[in-house]
Structure 1
């Protein structure tokens, strides 16, 4: 990649704001904004709740739109909990696909610093696994989004610095920030991401130490969304789920090829196993435990 200096304020970006509660169906949206009603989070009772509010591609000068939409969300009673995140997409179009290997190297060098600067909640790390050297090697051998996605556990294909987003919408997605509906915290996170990507695109040598990196980029060291600890019942659920995954995975693989288990949940009539294939299709199965081990008893209808 040839260094290309780009004013960070001239980079298009998008924000995905996860929340629980409120009344997402009735929020009046600004032009271009969307409410992803199929992106439900888990509220404090374990029920699916809230949604994900998404900006269109905007510029730094348009950031007041975010303030206005946050006010509208607050008015409906929306809030965030441990299950919510804040995802920032930054356009990579000034550099193009040929720059992806350099951004992979930058992710390998700086992802820990970004995670530490954002103080990513321990309970959210499963949704932002790290870029690996194996991904870099796969991409060099066969460029494409498949090389940049995780498979199997952890239960997210998308890395904390998600370069596979280039193939979806010509962006890089930074997923490490905790959830927030506070405008100041959102904007500080956006500014960091814009400055960080602009610096990588210009091939600036950034320190790996979070404090030094923040100083070099000219961004605050604090004021980003704070981590919210998950309740014990949720952590216990995840521990149990992680123990069950290796047991039911062979059965799932015989049902859906190239799939991963998204959720395992107890139900009065058995164990609900939610599976996603490589095309993003969701399948739901009911499992029972018998003397011969776990068995799939029937496929469940979509919600």
Structure 2
């Protein structure tokens, strides 16, 4: 049922805490907490590193669990860099699917202010593209996850205000946060997201052009969120090369993997590695060589 007033402290939430370094395989977990060891980040050398830590659905009164787990991560040398993000899931149980359309409308009005308040690093925008009027229109005629799925590279399928998460896990996911292991920054981000969803659930109208005013109206912190972290030069160069090569290699990817999309491209010793994500999320990897007469598929890449 929507609208419906619900105290933000009573909403269930989860948070995805991405980090590098440490020893994630051996971190002692609180009951229900999960270490997603297949979710790796990139360290300063370009190697895969760290993991993603997340709690079970909890409420604001349970937030001390986050402090405990952060201390355990830091005791093992975990940290964050530019490759890490902070994603907050808010449970939509009080409203059900009725709130999905209001959240899309809210995204069209407030997503820029929310992104500005959370200071999303420019290089992370590929992970949190905007909701568009076309998506909102498509949802009204086809209320399904495909209607609210962003088209583009696999990293861009989930919008910054990701309502597709309702169909997967019963939440809305807010993806704008930069990476952090600082308890105050993480709690400020969670509180902002909880207050935002609670306000939309109640049918409230907010300031749509000024992040500070919106935070004040919500009663959320006006500052103290994870700061953006600059990317190293080599990562920028990798990104530029990747963007230049994707249009060239996309037809090969389509022929090799039906419905596949290029996820990333990396140089390897004997050519160019192209990782292609299948519709179900599995990754296929191939190595190409660029001879003078055209691209040559050399081999499938097996790790």
TM-score (norm 1): 0.97
The CA deviation at 1:279 is: 1.1
Q: 1:152 maps to which residue?
A: 152
Cα distance, 1:291 vs. partner? 2.5
Q: Deviations over 1:218-239 (max 9, x none)?
A: 1111100011000111011101
List, as ranges, runs of 4+ consecutive aligned residues in structure 1 with deviation greater than 4 Å.
none
1:1-303 pair list within 5 angstroms: 2-153=2-153, 155-208=155-208, 209-301=210-302, 303=303
Name stretches of at least 5 consecutive residues in structure 1 with no aligned partner: none
CA offset digits 1:171-226 (Å, max 9, x no partner): 00001000000000000000000000000000100111101100100111110001
* Alignment check: 8 A CA contact 1:241 1:264 kept: yes
Equivalent-residue separation in structure 2 for 1:46 and 1:2 (angstroms): 46
SS at structure 2 position matched to 1:175: strand
Could you list the per-position Cα deviations for residues 79-123 of structure 1 after superposition, in whole angstroms to 9, with x for gaps in the alignment? Answer: 000000000000011111122111111011111001000011111
CA displacement at 1:256 relative to structure 2? 1.5
**Alpha-carbon distance in structure 2 between the residues aligned to 1:298 and 1:150:** 31
Shift of 1:154: 6.9
Within 2, Cα distance between the matches of 1:203 and 1:284? 46
Given that 1:152 and 1:261 are in contact with CA atoms closer than 8 Å, whether structure 2 keeps it comes out as: no
Name whichever of 187-196 and 1-10 sits farther off: 1-10
Q: Whole-Å Cα distance in 1 between the matches of residues 163 and 297 of structure 2?
A: 36
* Partner Cα separation in structure 2 for residue 155 and residue 18 of structure 1: 15
Structure 2: how far apart are the matches of 1:241 and 1:25?
31
Shift of 1:298: 2.1
* Partner SS for 2:168: helix
Deviations 1:38-68 (A, max 9, x none): 0000000000000000110000000000000
Q: Structure 1 residue 138: deviation in Å?
A: 1.6
Cα distance in 2 for residues equivalent to 1:258 and 1:95: 34
User: Partners in 2 of 1:272 and 1:260 — Cα distance?
Assistant: 14
Structure 2 residue runs of 5 or longer lacking an equivalent are: none
How far 1:296 moved relative to its partner?
2.3
Count of residue pairs the alignment pairs up: 302
TM-score (norm 2): 0.97
Cα offset, 1:259, TM superposition: 2.1
